């Protein structure tokens, strides 16, 4: 099985899974286990944890996320290359799709009568924009690092840190009571579709230019 076929299968599988969960979210205010998981997570109640989760959520949402994209784009341009650096803000623009999806699915956020709503948020809940952003931008960054950073130890440490941060961002949204766990999973899944597509594009572009270079 060729690489292009593998990527098509992965993108197709993720897209179908994302479609199914999105349709379910359109008609279900929450998924089985959402309330239990949220209350269990929120049972770890202390001021430091709340401040930490609030800070993580703030950094990767709203105007702060634009700054994150700019900083990562500059670093990637400096250390890796121009194409990769351009793909970072492209990924940032793709995250705007999340707004349209929220309007289409029209799923409400958790209500204060069910969970502790610890942060004020407007708009619909599914999919989580923070989770969408995290998996797409930080996932793309992790991919570039995985194929460009030569030192294996440093590479593994950085990748582990990025994966932990992606998971932490999603967890913070549930902890703050602004998303159900299924909102976060939906954000990861839908963002994962676009992430896989961008990785596929990058590998195809590199392979094409490598072949052209060999001909020359």
Question: 118-122, 132-136, 161-165: which range is least confident on average?
Answer: 118-122
Task: Say whether pLDDT at 2 is over 80.
Answer: no
pTM to 2 decimal places: 0.92
- Confidence label for 211 from pLDDT (cuts 50, 70 and 90): low
Nearest in space to 178 (alpha carbons), one of 92, 56, 93: 56
- Taking residues 31-51, report their average pLDDT: 94
Q: How far is CA 1 from CA 68, 143, 196, 215, in A?
A: 37, 22, 17, 25
Looking at residue 121, what is its pLDDT?
87
Name the residues annotated as catalytic. Answer: 130, 179
């Amino acid at each position: 099985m060729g690489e292009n076929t593998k990527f098509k299968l992965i993108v197709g599988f993720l897209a179908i899974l994302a479609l199914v969960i999105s349709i379910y979210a359109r008609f279900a205010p929450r998924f089985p286990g959402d309330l239990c998981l949220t209350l269990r997570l929120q049972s770890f109640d202390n001021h430091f944890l709340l401040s930490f989760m609030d800070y993580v959520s703030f950094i990767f949402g709203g105007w702060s996320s634009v700054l994150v994209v700019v900083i990562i784009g500059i670093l990637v341009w400096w250390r890796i290359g121009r194409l990769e650096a351009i793909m970072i803000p492209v990924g940032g623009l793709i995250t705007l799709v999340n707004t349209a999806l929220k309007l289409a699915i029209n799923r409400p956020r958790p209500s204060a009568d069910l969970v502790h709503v610890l942060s004020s948020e407007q708009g619909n809940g599914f999919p989580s924009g923070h989770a969408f952003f995290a998996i797409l931008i930080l996932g793309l960054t992790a991919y570039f690092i995985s194929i460009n950073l030569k030192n294996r130890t440093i590479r593994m440490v950085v990748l582990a840190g990025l994966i932990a941060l992606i998971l932490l961002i999603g967890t913070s949204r549930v902890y703050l009571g602004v998303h159900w766990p299924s909102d976060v999973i939906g954000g990861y899944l839908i963002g994962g579709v676009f992430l896989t597509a961008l990785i596929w594009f990058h590998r195809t572009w590199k392979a094409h230019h490598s072949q052209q270079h060999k001909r020359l």
